[in-house]
Amino acid sequence: MNKINIAVIGAGTVGSAIAKALVKEEFVNKVIATRRRAEKIKWLEEHGVEISSDNVKAAKDADVIILAVKPNKIREVLEGIKEEIRGKLTISLAAGLSLKFLKSLAEAKFVRAMPNIAILVGESFTAYATNDLSEEEIALVERIFGAMGKCLRIEEEYMDAITGLSGSGPAYASVFLESMIYGGLKVGLPRDIALLAAAQTLLGTAKLLLETNLHPAQIRDMVITPGGTTIDGIFELEDSRVRTAIMKAVDAATKKSKILSLEIEAKQGKI
Ligand SMILES: NC(=O)c1ccc[n+]([C@@H]2O[C@H](COP(=O)([O-])OP(=O)(O)OC[C@H]3O[C@@H](n4cnc5c(N)ncnc54)[C@H](OP(=O)(O)O)[C@@H]3O)[C@@H](O)[C@H]2O)c1
């Protein structure tokens, strides 16, 4: 496979992490990252990423374009580069914007993707949807997202639910982690020990689940001894309706994603 050039348009929090991850990949020739205030991403040059504030030039040079601007900037950005991306693989990370909407703005081969902030450490879960790519192009999309963590192709109808679950998920997990750390402080652990114990426990449990295919209920039962310590903790958790609270969080964020999609698409309209 020929090495490819990638343009990351809108290298903010997520885009700059993507540029940094991709530039190290063997299948990549060069990565150009843009934002209007390009001086803010000067640090990316140390990692071998070219930086620019010229979206048109970046898109022209690129085989693959990744749109990492906020959803409300997508229309404006696509208006500026629609000639340069014609027929090219173009990945949009914009929450809520449908493939149909994107295709109404430019004639590119669009992929709609939802990563999460763990992209910063190469452990994102990225779901993506697309409907007119060749096998070879799908393989390329998987290599791109594979450089940032795990990825899965899904039907587009699940995208809002993914946004509410794994897109927002690091925020829920952080609340859980913070609560674990507070719990540690409550029982007298020094802060650094509480933080490490909580974070490694969450990481290890997630790894256990993924690597053994055990159901979470089985892992829970492996820890609970009849009459032991854990069942007292679980009793308190169940009494606090913590499951309902987390389910409600995913449900609320999914509903918001659906509402935002309608609002943004209605506001931005077709070019
Ligand atoms: N953050 C998350 O956890 C997360 C998770 C999943 C998906 N996403 C999606 O990822 C995308 C980016 O999110 P983010 O959190 O990384 O946002 P962000 O930090 O605000 O980054 C967006 C960048 O776009 C640049 N920009 C704005 N207008 C531009 C233009 N016309 N041309 C070039 N660059 C432009 C901005 O820099 P300048 O002002 O200097 O131009 C800004 O740094 C969003 O669509 C979001 O839905 C984010």
- pLDDT tens-digit map of 33-83: 999 999 999 999 999 999 999 999 999 999 999 999 999 999 999 999 999
- Range(s) within the chain of domains with CATH label 1.10.3730.10: 169-240
Q: What is the pLDDT of residues 84-113, one digit of tens each?
A: 999 999 999 999 899 999 999 999 999 999
Nearest residue (CA) to ligand 1, atom 39: 36
Q: Which of 9, 13, 257 to mutate to test the pocket of ligand 1 (most atoms within 8 A of CB)?
A: 13
**Looking at residues 171-193, what average pLDDT do you find?**
98
Q: Outline where DSSP puts E strands in 115-198.
A: 124-129, 149-153
The residue written with tokens 């309608």 in the block is 262
The CATH H-level superfamily of 4-159 is NAD(P)-binding Rossmann-like Domain (3.40.50.720)
Placement of tokens 């690597």 in the chain: 211
What is the number of other CB atoms lying within 10 angstroms of the CB of residue 33? 30
Length of the chain: 271
State whether the beta carbon of 13 lies less than 6 angstroms from ligand 1: yes
Q: Specify the DSSP element, H or E, that contains 174.
A: helix 169-186
Let me know: does 90 contact 108? Beta carbons within 8 Å: yes
Question: What are the Cα distances from residue 3, in Å, to 49, 122, 133, 200?
Answer: 15, 21, 19, 37
Write out the residue limits of the CATH 3.40.50.720 domain(s) in the chain.
4-159
From the CA of 109, how far away is ligand 1's center (Å)? Answer: 21
Apex 227 CA angle, 225 and 230, nearest 5: 55
Q: Average pLDDT over the chain, rounded to whole?
A: 95
Say which residue the tokens 């979206």 belong to. 55
User: Of 261, 10, 17, 247, which is closest to residue 121 (Cα–Cα)?
Assistant: 17
Tell me the whole-structure pTM to 2 decimals: 0.93
Architecture of domain 169-240: Orthogonal Bundle (1.10)
68 and 11 Cβ atoms separated by less than 8 Å = yes
